[in-house]
Amino acid sequence: MSTEPAVTLDELETDALTEIVNIGVSRAASNLRKMVGDQVLLSVPSIEVVSQRRAARLINEREITQLIAVRQDFAGPFSGRALLIFPEENSLELVRAVTGDELSPQEVQDIEHEALAETGNVILNSCLATMANMLQRSLTMTIPEVLRGDGAALFETRDETAADGLVLFLYIDFAVRKRDIRGYIAMLMDLPSLQALKALLGEFIERVVGDDG
């Protein structure tokens, strides 16, 4: 574990970001519900700002197997890379959930990549778009990309120069009943981007709480 991140969010900022992401996740859940046709329970995420190394460790601590991730880069007042991460073993289950159990195992395998990318896009897009919307800024996003690897690979901690970046680490529980699916959202940002995000959160709080906060 390296030193503590240089930018930390105070309690209100964390609350604000949590609520914003909550909105995003709600929208994602709403969208997924439409895709899956079944109740999707999304837990209110907890948020932490950690170093890339710490993020890798957090993931490795929780997930023993290989991971699969959907990646989308975003750019705007704050830029970075968003990752929706699942244990690899959950991947087909998720695909099966979103395709409604109508496909044969072979068909599920065939469309796995595409289905994951689409699902990831729904969730990440909901979160990032909500953030942009609530913070009254706009973000541009790249096309989703599917990656495989362990925590270190996903957070690029093996690349020494990149390992100093910070990660906004969100734990979300995709508790789809009888589906055993869970996942994480991580947003990798450099220091200036995180500072920009912090400033925007301050503005948001100012708007919402007003004078009597």
Partner 1 sequence: MAEAPASDESVAERLRAVLVTSGASGSWDWDIAADTLYFDEHFADLYGLTPEAGVAGVPGATFFSAIDPEDRARMKIAVAGILGGAELFSKEFRIQRPDGSVLWMHGRGQGHLDDRDRSVRFTGLLVDVTERKRTEERLRIAQSAGGVGTFEHVDGFATASVSTEFCRLLGLHPARVLPVRTINSVLLVGDKPIIPDTEQTGEPLDGEFRIIRNDDGAERWIARRGEIVRDSETSGYRFIGVIYDVTAAKQAEERLRELNETLEARVQEEIAERRQAEETLRQAQKMEAVGHLTGGIAHDFNNLLTIIIGNIDTVTRRLDSSSDPRAKRSLDNALKGAERAAALTQRLLAFSRRQALDPKRTDIARLLAGMSDLLTRSITETIAIRIHAPGDLWNVEVDPHQLENAILNLAVNARDAMADGGNLTVEAHNLVAEAGNTAAFVEAGHYVVVSVTDTGTGMTPETVAKVFDPFFTTKEVGKGTGLGLSMVYGFAKQSGGYVHIDSVPGAGTTVDLYLPRAADGEAEAAAEESVQAIELGNRDETILVVEDDDDVRTYTVEILRELGYRVIEAHDGQTALGLLTRTEQPVHLLLTDVVMPVMSGSELADRARAIRPDMEVLFTSGYTRDAIMRDGRIAPGLDLLPKPFTFASLAAKVREMLNRSVA
Query: Is residue 138 near partner 1 by the rule CB under 8 A?
Result: no
2-10, 73-81, 112-120, 200-208 -> range binding partner 1 (CB under 8 A) = 200-208
Minimum Å distance from CB 169 to partner 1? 10
Query: Is residue 130 near partner 1 by the rule CB under 8 A?
Result: yes
Q: Which residues of 99-126 are buried (b: 16+ CB within 10 A; e: fewer)?
A: beeeeeeeebeeebeebbbebbbbbbbb
Query: Is residue 191 near partner 1 by the rule CB under 8 A?
Result: no
The one among 7, 19, 117, 202 contacting partner 1 by CB under 8 A:
19
Q: How far apart are CA 30 and CA 46, in angstroms?
A: 20
Minimum Å distance from CB 194 to partner 1? 19
Minimum Å distance from CB 106 to partner 1? 26
Query: Is residue 35 near partner 1 by the rule CB under 8 A?
Result: no
15-23, 101-109, 144-152, 154-162 -> range binding partner 1 (CB under 8 A) = 15-23
Comparing CA positions, the residue from 68, 59, 167 lying closest to residue 115 is 68
Beta strand 67-75 with 183-189: parallel, antiparallel or unpaired?
A: unpaired
Query: Is residue 8 near partner 1 by the rule CB under 8 A?
Result: no
Q: How far apart are CA 10 and CA 60, in angstroms?
A: 26
The one among 27, 71, 81, 96 contacting partner 1 by CB under 8 A:
27
The CA distances from residue 32 to 38, 42, 68, 148, in Å, are 9, 10, 19, 23
Query: Is residue 77 near partner 1 by the rule CB under 8 A?
Result: no
43-51, 97-105, 141-149, 155-163 -> range binding partner 1 (CB under 8 A) = 43-51
Comparing CA positions, the residue from 141, 139, 148 lying closest to residue 116 is 148
User: What crossing angle do the helices spanning 191-209 and 11-36 adopt, rounded to 10°?
Assistant: 90
Q: How far apart are CA 187 and CA 118, in angstroms?
A: 18
Joined tokens for residue 40? 């999707």
Please name the residues in contact with 57: beta carbons below 8 A apart, sequence gap of 6 or more. 1, 151
The one among 9, 20, 56, 95 contacting partner 1 by CB under 8 A:
20
111/175 with CB nearer partner 1: 175
Binding site for partner 1 (CB under 8 A): 11-12, 15-16, 19-20, 22-23, 26-27, 29-30, 43-44, 46, 57-58, 61-64, 130, 133-134, 171, 173, 175, 177-178, 180-182, 204-205, 208-210, 212-213
